[in-house]
Amino acid sequence: MTLPFTAEQFFDVFAEYNRTLSWIVLSLWVTALIAVVTAWRSQSRGSRALTWYLAALWLWNSVAYHALLFTRINPAAWLFAGLFSLQGVLLAIAATRGQLTYFTAGGWRKYVGTLLVLYAFVYPILNIAFGRGYPGVPTFGVPCPTAILTIGLLLTARGPASTWLIVAPVLWGFVGGSAVFLLGVWPDYPLIAAGVLGTADVISRVLRRSANKRLVAGPITSR
């Protein structure tokens, strides 16, 4: 795959992001941690606030990263900005309706989702410690850790909204995850895994609902 920008241009975008918005980036990381801990301790009260936070974070990505910075080196970033804006609006609608309750799913979803959430907070630390050198590395409030955080939280959530809200993060899991192979951003490996797990989760939920509908329809048609 041929990219419309060089590796240096790509990492220079992060350098400008981190230099210009360093205090905001740190604030986003801290407030995200507070929101997640609050939802963990009080699922019913904290989940709506956390969904509002996710909505704001996706809109922040759309404007601060894609529209203002990434469009300078990649025209496709306008499409990405639109996708992230749409996801932000959908999350805001889910928050308004109180459609998500985090850390309540059972089985593998809760454990794997929680691990992805934790990794989203470690992600910028790994890039700063082992990346190309700060500030030219992905930190917090940029698309990849945002997608990891969102997929992780949605895997732990109950509610029908968790199925369709995971679609955009999964798409970015594969688009953004390509940086592993094309640009050597190795902390994005779990982003690809998150995309695969999110896809599997959507398919399993759709199949389960279809099977439930057939079970309900079966006795009715047999009468």
What would the pLDDT profile of 104-118 be if each residue is shown by its tens digit?
998 899 999 999 999
Which one, of 2, 28, 26, 19, lies nearest residue 137 by Cα? 19
Tell me the backbone φ, ψ of residue 42, rounded to 5 degrees.
-145, 85
End-to-end CA, the chain: 58
Q: Is the pLDDT of residue 77 over 80?
A: yes
Burial zone of 8 (CB within 10 Å; 0-12 exposed, 13-18 middle, 19+ buried): exposed
pTM recorded for the entire structure: 0.92
CA distance 195 to 105: 18
- pLDDT in the model for residue 94: 94
- pLDDT in the model for residue 161: 77
> For residues 60 and 213, which has the higher predicted lDDT (pLDDT)?
60
Contact predicate 190/152, CB 8 Å: no
Domain chopping of the chain, boundaries: 7-210
When the pLDDT of each residue in the chain is averaged and rounded to a whole number, the result is 92
Model pLDDT for residues 105-161, shown as the tens digit of each residue: 988 999 999 999 999 999 999 999 998 899 999 999 999 999 999 999 999 998 777
- pLDDT in the model for residue 218: 63
For residue 20, the one-letter residue type is T
Judged by DSSP in three states, 158 sits in strand
- pLDDT in the model for residue 202: 87
* Percentage with pLDDT > 90 across the chain: 81
Q: Is the pLDDT of residue 73 over 90?
A: yes
- pLDDT in the model for residue 44: 84
Non-local (6+) Cβ contacts of 119 within 8 A are 148, 152, 190
Overall average pLDDT of the 152-178 stretch: 91
